[in-house]
């Protein structure tokens, strides 16, 4: 596997991680969990959420077994209303392909990151490596520190 911006960032900060290569098609978090043979709730997906008012989109990072609860997320970020964009809009807003959207690929790009509190049930979680076919297992605390993520209850069972 060749390094990408995310693996270079993690290496430069001496953050321990494990990179997993997967098929390069768009895989959901649950398919990823099955391929890696890990608990589904430990594989997190990044959902792009836009604000009704102006402002950068939010990256909601939630367990693969759950969906973003827009009301709970709006409360966490102090917004009246949030909107779930189409997959195409999410790709346009982030510059990344669906299936490869990662908060680590969007550091310093102005996105607000909100991580579901269930992440704290694990020492490490799996997230996208910023491109299809790359999954990264890294410590939850490292993800929070790198992205400046706010931790809040933002999901509901799918």
Backbone dihedral region of 151: left (phi > 0), alpha (psi from -120 to 50 degrees) or beta? Answer: beta
Q: How far is CA 121 from the centre of its chain?
A: 16
In a domain, 130, yes or no: no
Asked if the structure places residue 157 within a domain, the reply is: yes
- How far, rounded to the nearest angstrom, does the alpha carbon of residue 64 sit from its chain's CA centroid? 10
User: Comparing C-alpha atoms, which of 119, 125, 126 is closest to residue 154?
Assistant: 119
CATH of the domain at 74: 3.90.960.10
What domain range is 97 assigned to?
38-121+139-158
- Residue 30 forms part of a structural domain: no
Cβ atoms < 10 Å from Cβ of 25? 9
1 exposure class (CB count in 10 Å sphere: 0-12, 13-18, 19+): exposed
Q: Tens digits of per-residue pLDDT, 45-96?
A: 999 999 998 889 999 999 999 999 999 999 999 999 999 999 999 999 999 9
Q: Is residue 19 part of a domain?
A: no
Other Cβ atoms within 10 Å of 83 Cβ, number: 11
If pLDDT is split at 50, 70 and 90, which confidence band does 113 have? very high
Q: What is the mean pLDDT of residues 6-29?
A: 93
Residue 131 lies in a domain: no
Residue 66 belongs to some domain of the structure: yes
Q: Rounded to an integer, what distance in angstroms lies between the CA atom of residue 40 and that of residue 102?
A: 18
Q: How many domains does the chain have?
A: 1
Asked if the structure places residue 10 within a domain, the reply is no
Residue 8's H or E segment, with its range, is helix 5-12
**Residue 12's pLDDT band (boundaries 50, 70, 90)?**
very high
């Amino acid at each position: 596997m060749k390094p990408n911006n995310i693996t270079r960032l993690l290496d430069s900060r001496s953050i321990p991680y494990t990179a997993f290569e997967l098929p390069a098609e768009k895989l959901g978090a649950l398919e990823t969990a099955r391929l890696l043979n890990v608990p589904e709730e430990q594989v997190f997906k990044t959902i792009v959420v836009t604000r009704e008012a102006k402002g950068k989109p939010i990256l909601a990072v939630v367990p693969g077994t759950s969906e973003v609860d827009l009301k709970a997320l709006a409360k966490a970020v102090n917004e009246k209303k949030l909107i779930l964009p189409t997959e195409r809009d999410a790709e346009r807003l982030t510059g990344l392909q669906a299936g490869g959207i990662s908060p680590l690929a969007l550091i310093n790009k102005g996105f607000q990151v909100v991580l579901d509190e269930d992440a704290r049930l694990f020492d490490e979680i799996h997230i996208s490596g910023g491109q299809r076919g790359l999954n990264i297992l890294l410590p939850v605390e490292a993800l929070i520190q790198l992205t400046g993520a706010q931790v809040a209850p933002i999901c509901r069972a799918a």
